[in-house]
Amino acid sequence: MALADADGIESLSMRKLAAALDITAMSLYYHLKDKEDLLDGMLDIVHSEFATPSAGDEWRAAMRKRAGSTRSVLAQHPWAISMKARTSPGPATLGHLDSVIGCLTAAGFSMAMTGHAMSILDSYVLGFAQQEASLPLDPSGDIGDATEAIMAQQEAMADSFKNLAAMAVSLILQPGYALGNEFDFGLELILDGLEVALLSDSVSLSQ
């Protein structure tokens, strides 16, 4: 994982991993079935780093914490993002999901509504992490260094893509703009929506 964080997942080879461990490539195959097996294990470790709700947590706070930690963990291990859509989950992955379901049902969510909530939250956070990872931002989230590169394309865009150009100058290039702010907006919007859905859900159940 240190190698993948430093040089990118595509440059992690069995030979390089072995060299970092002072053994040869083939020795790895005593411990691992194949490279897939290695990646599955790495992904499960990533899942173990996500904040997991404890029994009794208030659901909104728990989901906020989970979303935030997921985002920051995935920012630290960007290679995990595209792998998250991987079949064959490990124990950490399953345990994490289990706690989330427990938290939501304890808060009064029906099983169907729990499924809805997890689907929308997970999709949002995963998608956001992926978009965030694709931007040439420094870790602060500030647009910083990229500004000049964008300004260079600015003239070419002004003709063909007027709206895009307008957004660039009046929003994205403004000092203080950071994609991180967008994350909270969307997350709160979703949590608000879920709260409403939760209310009508429990009403319909109690009738």
Binding site for a copy of itself (CB under 8 A): 81-82, 84-87, 91, 94-95, 97-99, 101-102, 105, 111-112, 114-116, 119-120, 122-128, 130-131, 133-134, 136, 157, 160-164, 166-167, 170-172, 179, 182-183, 185-186, 189-190, 192-194, 197
Contact 25, 14 (CB under 8 A): yes
> What residues are paired with 178 via a beta bridge?
142
DSSP assignment, residue 89? Answer: -
User: Smallest gap, in angstroms, from Cβ of residue 111 to a copy of itself?
Assistant: 5
Residue 16 binding target from a copy of itself, DNA, none, CB below 5 to 8 Å by type: DNA
Nearer to a copy of itself, 27 or 153 (CB): 153
Rounded Cα distance between 38 and 32, Å, is: 6
Contact 52, 62 (CB under 8 A): no
Considering only residues 7, 8, 20, 24, which one is a binding residue for DNA as defined by CB under 7 A? 24
| Rg of the chain over all Cα atoms, to the nearest angstrom | 21
The pair of structure tokens assigned to 106 is: 């304890």
For binding to DNA (CB under 7 A), which residues are involved?
11-16, 18, 23-27, 29-31, 34-36
